[in-house]
Structure 1
Amino acid sequence: MSTTIDMARLTEVLPAGSWTGAPADRVVLDYDGRHRRRVVLTGAAGGQYLLDLPEATHLKNGDGLRSTEGAIVEVAALAEPLLEIRAATTPDLLRLAWHLGNRHLAAAIRADHILIRRDHVIAHMLEHQGAVVAEVMAVFDPEAGAYHVHGHGHDH
């Protein structure tokens, strides 16, 4: 005999800043865990939820996931081990960004640094290019890429 556990279905993504009020629960997810279509999630308060979106969607920190009953579960991005890359000048940082892009690495580009996933081989290459590389724990939200469709779970 099998028992079916009733769990709320999360079927709509509400972009960060577009919803208000206290969430019913919160799910804490790393970068890979925030790119999903259908998966069972466990909230910080212990709730079980079925994320059931029409297509794989990249969830961002602060997004809300609306259930079929109208409750909102907040998405919280989990800090993960990354490399923070800095350079002496902006042109040097741009050159380092080119090297990372040439290797098709996911990167979060900031005004004064770049974040990538930890990789000791890439760290060594960057240091030989003049970069200052530090291991950090931070939220990873890389650039989507030139061919990324900017849908966020909405009809266009």
Structure 2
Amino acid sequence: MLKATEVLAAGHWDRDHAIDRIALDYDERHRRRFRFVAEGGTEFLLDLPRATVLQHGDGLALEGGDVITVIAASEALSQVTAADTEALMRLAWHIGNRHLPAQLVADRILIREDHVIVSMLRGLGATVEPVRAPFSPEGGAYSGHGGFAAAHEHAHGNVLALGQPHEH
């Protein structure tokens, strides 16, 4: 079976080497080691040195020089908007205070569907609508560095995305 042992950053690899593509949701894009079958039937083992969040447009370098293109798949999300920037910032604070993964955009926040959180946000004055879109939440201040992420690696055996809900 082919092995992918390196992630090539989006925009920094030659697309002529792409032989297949794979659409993955956010959870599926956060891996270290996993067996995949790409859309064109290419079977490969992702075998990275550490858990990594794959981004839309990244390439997975296969042995021999070929590449699998990563596509961020659409998933069920909630789009949070507010009457003005100040209200949206308050909503962002409430979402962050609950350690929820969130994708911050200039005029909205995308979160995973959660009826309890949606009810809370609406109670705080938010407009919340279901959408389907790729999800790329903020990684947090310590993502990809030592500090908090490294401490979590020791405690959990893998690196979790900061803001990811989990038990201690």
Q: Deviations over 1:62-121 (max 9, x none)?
A: 000001111010001110000000001000000000000010000000100000000011
Aligned to 1:69: 64
1:147 lines up with 2:142 in the alignment: yes
Deviation at 1:21, TM superposition (A): 2.4
Does residue 33 of the first structure (1) align with residue 43 of the second (2)? no
Mark the runs of 5 or more structure 1 residues left unpaired by the alignment.
1-6, 152-156
Shift, 1:150, TM fit = 5.6
SS at match of 2:34: strand
Larger Rg: 1
Aligned match of 1:82: 77
Partner of 1:33, secondary structure, is coil
TM-score, normalised via structure 1 length: 0.90
Distance across 1 between alignment mates of 2:33 and 2:96: 30
* 2:5 alignment counterpart: 11
For residues 136 and 13 of structure 2, what CA distance do their matches in structure 1 show? 21
Q: Offset at 1:147?
A: 1.9
- Structure with the bigger RCO (C-alpha within 8 Å, sep 6+) is 1
Which 4+ runs in 1 deviate beyond 2 A?
none
Aligned to 1:111: 106
Identity of aligned residues (%): 53
**Higher percent of residues as helix:** 2
**How much does 1:20 deviate?**
2.0
Amino acid at match of 1:48: E
Write the distance in 2 (CA, Å) between the matches of 1:41 and 1:19.
21
Q: Quote the residue 1:154 is aligned against.
A: none
Alpha-carbon distance in structure 2 between the residues aligned to 1:116 and 1:125: 13
Amino acid at match of 2:65: G
Say what the alpha-carbon RMSD is for the aligned residues: 1.2
Unaligned 5+ runs, structure 2: 147-168
**Residue in structure 1 matched with residue 162 of structure 2 by the alignment:** none
Give TM-score, length-normalised by structure 2: 0.84
1:49-64 aligned at under 5 Å gives the runs 49-64=44-59
How many residues are treated as equivalent by the alignment? 145
Distance 2:10 2:53 in 1: 12
